[in-house]
Amino acid sequence: MLGPSTDRCLALASSDFFHGLLGFYKMKHYHLPPNSIMHISIFVHLCESFLGILPHFHLFHHLFRLKPQPDEDSPALVGGAGLQLRDKALYLEFSTPSSLSGWHAQWFYIGNHKPSLPGRDNAPPQH
């Protein structure tokens, strides 16, 4: 039986690579929309499972670019930094939902366990 102090929540698994990306781009996890989180997950899985290497930042940076959402002058607080492939011919073929309009209303936050992600600061991503 679980006691009242037992932690019973979901947690976002975060890797050193993910923390490094957030630090390099000077952003928080909530600045990324769902498809960008999926891009990072697929890249990490590709490196670790198929290439047999640790995720490599320079390879990631060669394949992806960060694009402010909706634009550079006014990035959104939540989901204001989307990852885009630089050249689809250089990467795996996969599809993402073409439209996630309204995803902000259905998004929620979950436990922030060790190694924890940086806290919320109510600032949009920096360009």
* Rg of the Cα atoms in the chain: 16
Q: What DSSP element (H or E) covers 18?
A: helix 16-25
What pLDDT is recorded for position 72?
A: 79
Which of 14-28, 55-69, 110-124 bottoms out in mean pLDDT, i.e. has the lowest? 110-124
**Residue recorded with tokens 């891009």:** 39
Check whether the bond before 68 is cis (ω within 30° of 0). Answer: no
As a whole number, the mean pLDDT across the chain is 77
Judge whether 68 and 127 are in contact, CB under 8 Å: yes
Q: pTM of this prediction? A: 0.68
* Residue 105 pLDDT class (50, 70, 90 cuts): low
Mean pLDDT along residues 66-90:
83
> Which region holds residue 122: left if phi is over 0, alpha if psi is between -120 and 50, else beta?
left
What pLDDT is recorded for position 7?
A: 47
